[in-house]
């Protein structure tokens, strides 16, 4: 299956289990893979035959920056659900959310979740 990949999107959100996370916020990185046929837009060279990734970016940005979730699992699920609802041309979607600096007493590069959803 063809796909559009939007990688390394950076946002500032207020997600987390701890009250200080909801107050101070943190940086999040989001990657999405939009699985869909791209032969038609490849032939027509028309934005009307594909996903406008600037619009998709705004959908993702609004979810990350304007909503609050305790878990990055829920954040990823909402991104996947909204994109599948908004863009009927997407057959499957993979969403990765990275929380680079979780407020825990461990030293590592961060924690991420990856989900993959298919159109019902």
Active-site residues: which are they? 99
DSSP string for 27-54? EEEEEEEEE---HHHHHH--GGGS--HH
Q: CB of 100 within 8 A of CB of 112? A: no
Give strand pairing partners of 118. 92
The contacts of residue 64 (CB under 8 Å, 6+ apart) are: 11, 13, 28, 30, 75, 79
């Amino acid at each position: 299956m063809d796909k559009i990949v939007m990688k390394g999107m950076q946002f500032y959100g207020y997600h987390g289990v701890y009250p200080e996370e909801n107050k101070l916020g943190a940086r999040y990185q989001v990657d999405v893979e939009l699985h869909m046929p791209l032969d038609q837009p490849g032939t027509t060279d028309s934005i009307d035959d594909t996903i406008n990734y600037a619009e998709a970016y705004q959908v993702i940005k609004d979810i990350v920056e304007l909503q609050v979730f305790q878990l990055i699992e829920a954040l990823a699920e909402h991104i996947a659900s909204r994109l599948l609802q908004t863009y009927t041309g997407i057959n499957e979607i993979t969403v990765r959310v990275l929380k680079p600096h979780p407020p825990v007493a461990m030293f590592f590069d961060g924690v991420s979740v990856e989900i993959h959803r298919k159109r019902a």
